[in-house]
A and B are shown apart, each in its own frame.
Chain A
Amino acid sequence: MAQLAESPSLPRDEEGPVFREPWEAQAFGLTVALHKKGLFSWEEWTAQLSMEIARAQRQGDADLGDSYYRHWLAALEALSNRKGLSNSDELASRTRQWREAYLNTPHGRAVELSAGLDGRRGSSED
């Protein structure tokens, strides 16, 4: 396997864990769950994902496979928006609410969404 490390253009991996971080697994699972529920077809999904990957490449992403689940999440957000499952306003507001929930929760306690404010625009200090 030694020569493999010498080929810089192809990223390598061993047969390691399939997800590098928990959010990658969550994003993957959400997509499969929504598809199983019949909310979009797999053709629609791969078309959206291909589009996000192509867009990221145009914007300079080296696209070495490590950014793959970022494209995956962008595709899932876009397709959810298009299918009316969620929209970018509520996503942005909910993301802020989660961040505040973390900041308001003492270290070591479980973080509950209700610990964040209701995600109103401008309610966050950061």
Chain B
Amino acid sequence: MSHDHDHTDPPADIALRVKALESLLVEKGLVNPAALDAIIETYEHRVGPRNGARVVARAWTDPEFKAALLEDASAAVAELGYEGRQGEHLQVVENTPELHNLVVCTLCSCYPWTVLGLPPVWYKSAPYRARAVSEPHSVLAEFGTHLPASTRIQVWDSTSEMRYLVLPMRPAGAEDFDEEALQSLVTRNAMIGVEQVSMPGRG
């Protein structure tokens, strides 16, 4: 570096824009810095796909919970302590040998945050948003998911009012697994519907 150390290199313009907006909103009393930190901490570290995995494993092992989940998912997951922050409804859609569910948000990236955390990059991308609807079979194939020809695919387009979580099929061979072991099998991608849940080592 040719320059001396009498200044600090400013961050990128986009980061300065965020700092500008944040400092103005804090000054106006519209945002509380401690509340802001708490929100970021929550979504960075505490809310993630493990919440959804717990919901799925419970549904696989507890028929009453499963029935309640399919009837009113928002209420059922709230019982586990996961509540929607944006006032959205959650619907759980169950995979069966005849029907495979796939979730997308064609317009932006509506996503069941409370049970899956924040969406992965590919979920937010235009190719996924478009192709999940127009050619779901080839999207699934790119994720390594090959369904029998007899399985129908249903695509669910999320909105600001309605989010979807896929209840995958419990894999064959996991009959003896307890709830905790089952949780570890459930992936984020399976709960979006681009993959199925598989046994370890058979991925």
Interface, chain A (partner B; CB < 8 A): 1, 3-4, 7, 9-13, 15, 17-19, 21-23, 25-30, 32-37, 39, 42-43, 45-47, 49-50, 53-54, 57, 62-66, 68, 70, 73, 76-77, 80, 85-86, 90-91, 94-95, 97-99, 102-109, 111, 113
Q: Provide the residues of chain B in CB contact with A53, threshold 8 Å.
A: 107-108
Query: Given A73-B18, A94-B23, are A1 and B144 neighbors across the interface (CB < 8 Å)?
Result: yes
Query: Out of A15, A18, A23, which one reaches B11, CB within 8 Å?
Result: A23
Does A46 contact B125, Cβ atoms closer than 8 Å?
Answer: no
Q: Does residue B151 face the partner (Cβ distance < 8 Å to A)?
A: no
A23 and B24 in contact, given A10-B139, A15-B188, A64-B125 (Cβ under 8 angstroms): no
Q: Which residues of A contact B124 (CB under 8 A)?
A: 65, 68
Q: How far is the CA of A37 from the CA of B18 in the complex (A)?
A: 19
Select one of A9, A13, A80, A102 contacting B120, CB under 8 A.
Answer: A13
Q: Name 24 interchain pairs, CB-CB below 8 A, sorted by A.
A: A11-B121, A23-B11, A23-B12, A26-B22, A27-B18, A28-B40, A29-B36, A33-B35, A34-B25, A34-B31, A36-B85, A42-B86, A42-B87, A46-B160, A49-B109, A65-B125, A70-B14, A94-B23, A102-B9, A103-B8, A105-B7, A106-B6, A106-B8, A111-B8
Whether B144 lies near A33 (C-beta < 8 A) is no
Known A15-B49, A63-B125, A73-B14; further 12 A-B contacts with Cβ < 8 A: A4-B142, A10-B131, A15-B188, A35-B86, A53-B107, A70-B14, A73-B17, A85-B30, A94-B20, A98-B16, A102-B7, A106-B6
* B interface residue numbers (CB < 8 A to A): 5-25, 28, 30-32, 35-37, 39-40, 43-44, 48-49, 85-88, 107-110, 117-118, 120-128, 131, 139, 142-144, 159-161, 187-188, 203
In the complex, which residues of chain B have a beta carbon less than 8 angstroms from the beta carbon of A3?
142, 144
